[in-house]
Structure 1
């Protein structure tokens, strides 16, 4: 039976692996459905040392490894008024951005902030009618917390994060209804504490540029503390502020078995348990998946009964971040590079991406989005979902700088996949393109761009220019375009050629 199900899954995946060619328009989505685009503070703001801002772990990682950084990036800190006008021109319903913890609270003694920081306050207000979706934490806790007690590895972080969240709720809550506590909580834990590739760059894998860490256990400790911090912030909001919604975002891969074998089917279920069930199961059911508890054993923290009750039901919505379609192959014994068990050897699978991930050539596979949304619906009781990131990067090739036809095709296909999922019963309530404009990317730096708008990073004024995708998205949101095919793209390019 399991093999039949696996074959059926693979058939469906490849049957729907082409571009979505159905006719649809903005009006086909439910009333109140939000369309938007996003950025994050470190990737967009710049002004790294202005107005008292102190370094975050993201600053420290970039500078210590002598790589591209967000010191200036888009200079959104100074150009936010111009950018808000572009949001209006693009017909966005909503804008997703994050608040810089180390800018708002530059020292451990500044939690009693009396006045909101003007350049954080103004985007939060967005008096243009655009709905702000605010992320409190996007990989960037203050370096002073890392130095003092190792940040998320210490339970003291739960109290400090809650105090920071309380300041944000208090100062900006009159203007913000949608709060995401932690961005990509699963990938932050894995990337920062197993791989060492993302802030704060801890690992024990040989050959990685990690000064310290323990890839066998730290990601599980951090994941546990993230969940407790999220639950604590959510509880504070519901007790003191109300009127809005608090959620957690996770990174989802569209996972299917590589073959019809029973082993690969079981491996896919195990990969889902580790990669997203790890935290999604805790939010919905108040505990980690049994598969994780059995394999990880004593390295996996345990929720007390009180903690379980606090975490369970603490998310009003699930933030979905999704880019890739991925097949899964079982590995009977996967040794870790360090010789000790780590997240990947615990999971015991091999991932095969559709397209080249690090060469930034993503496959257009809208069925993968449908797989993710169906999984959330079937396995976790169909909670409200906001797709907080979806998009495709492109090399900063001058010929593709503006006429980013592959991005238009990708967005059209994935938005169509979202609509199919909604029609199949998914409680998905919003979709945000990543990203509104080209940003500093942690993996890729300034060599690639996800933006609807290009940014000339060699220009001191950081000139923004609309790409073909910006015009297409604007027209779609305005209800003036629906069908997209080769003829439609040609017509769009012809109509907009005078803009470039």
Structure 2
């Protein structure tokens, strides 16, 4: 990286490598040594470490004890984990991402069942356990509040003396209407709302997008006054957007559609082509054979 002139490197800390049992066990010193070696080597070469605290893995014990992201208890564990990271690495790490693509994880893990803990229900999937109509939004709610917990700890105890910055990174799909019709234009608005604003609106504005509330009703959790205040005072130093692709969107309220694993909850379906013409240059088609719709981005990410 140094020979290429790279001046910053973003990597993720594995929760399981630092705290194998969450706050119910000891810090794994071998894991700490591993990340210290990476951070020190980067700094020695003039490369700024940019650390993501959470990137999809949680200690198995937290899943067993209380259901992981489906329980508000996870907020305590995530705050504990984040503070351990601030204490151990914050003297050298000045850029922190609390959560990586939590909006993608909530859908893949709790709506489609593709990622652990593999929970879903029809029509999105056929898992042994789960409820695709409710659980993605419970998990997302707890992720948002866990983010706020970590930011609050950093703001109050570490930011001033360590001089760093903290934000969040979300998976940012973009959408264009498949047809120049009012219903497809409204479908674009819904699809966007169920993507980035799902997480950023609560963090910045203290409430979920109205398009989500209109469709989901009571299945979308509410923030208490105390939680809204917490979100309002923590805020963000920066926003990270992981953008892989743009999609055409077709309305599925007034039009017949196949179930879309990514945008079906927004009552829309996303497509890569219109009238046989791809929305953009084809880059990874050979790797997409027999890949479930919606997983193309994930396959491409890991292939790279």
- With structure 1 as the length reference, what TM-score do the two structures score? 0.52
- Deviation track 1:44-98 (CA, whole Å, cap 9, x = no partner) reads xxxxxxxxxxxxxxxxxxxxxxxxxxxxxxxxxxxxxxxxxxx112211111110
Deviation at 1:144, TM superposition (A): 1.3
Runs of at least 4 residues off by over 4 Å: 111-116, 206-209, 333-338, 342-345, 392-396
Which sits farther off after the overlay, 239-248 or 114-123? 114-123
Whether the aligned pair in 1 keeps the contact of 2:18 and 2:27 (CA below 8 Å) is no
Gaps of at least 5 residues in structure 2 are: 288-295
In the TM superposition, what is the alpha-carbon distance from 1:110 to its structure 2 partner? 3.1
Cα separation, partners in 2 of 1:292 and 1:335, compared to 1, 3 Å = farther
Match of 1:457 in 2: none
Aligned to 2:6, the other structure's residue is in SS state coil
Q: State the SS of the aligned residue for 2:91.
A: coil
The aligned counterpart of 2:244 is 323
For the pair 1:194 / 2:111, whether they are aligned, the reply is yes
SS in structure 1 opposite 2:133? coil
Residue of structure 2 in register with 1:117 after alignment? 32
**Aligned residue number for residue 147 of structure 1:** 64
* Partner in structure 1 of residue 183 of structure 2: 263
Secondary structure, aligned partner of 1:199: coil
Q: In 2, distance between residues paired with 1:196 and 1:114?
A: 33
Give me the CA root mean square deviation. 3.0
Partner SS, residue 108 of structure 2? helix
Counterpart residue number, 2:16: 102
Q: Does 2:134 align with 1:217?
A: yes
Q: Distance in 1 between matches of 2:140 and 2:195?
A: 11
Distance 2:191 2:268 in 1: 7
SS of the residue corresponding to residue 130 of structure 2 reads: coil
Aligned partner of 1:135 in structure 2 is 52
- In structure 2, the partner of 1:160 is 77
* 2:4 aligned residue: 90
1:350-389 equivalences under 5 Å are 350-353=269-272, 363-364=280-281
Highest relative contact order (Cα 8 Å, sep 6+), 1 or 2?
Answer: 1
Does the CA contact (< 8 Å) of 1:189 and 1:219 recur in 2?
yes
Partner of residue 93, structure 2: 176
C-alpha contact (below 8 Å) 2:191/2:263 kept by paired residues:
no
**Which of the two has higher C-alpha Rg?**
1
* CA distance in structure 2 between the partners assigned to 1:206 and 1:298 by the alignment: 19
Q: Which of 184, 190, 196 is residue 276 of structure 1 equivalent to?
A: 196
Are the aligned partners of 1:395 and 1:449 in contact in 2 as well (CA < 8 Å)?
no
**Equivalent position of 1:204 in the other structure:** 121
- Helix, strand or coil: the match of 1:295? helix
TM-score by length of 2: 0.84
Q: How does 1:12-31 map to 2 (within 5 A)?
A: none
Q: 2:52 aligns to what SS in structure 1? A: strand
Q: Deviations over 1:261-280 (max 9, x none)?
A: 11111111111111221111
Match of 2:151, SS state, is helix
Specify the alignment match of 1:449 in structure 2: 303
Q: Distance in 2 between matches of 1:287 and 1:279?
A: 9
1:349 aligns with 2:271: no
Give the alignment of 1:293-442 within 5 angstroms: 293-312=213-232, 314-332=235-253, 344-353=263-272, 363-364=280-281
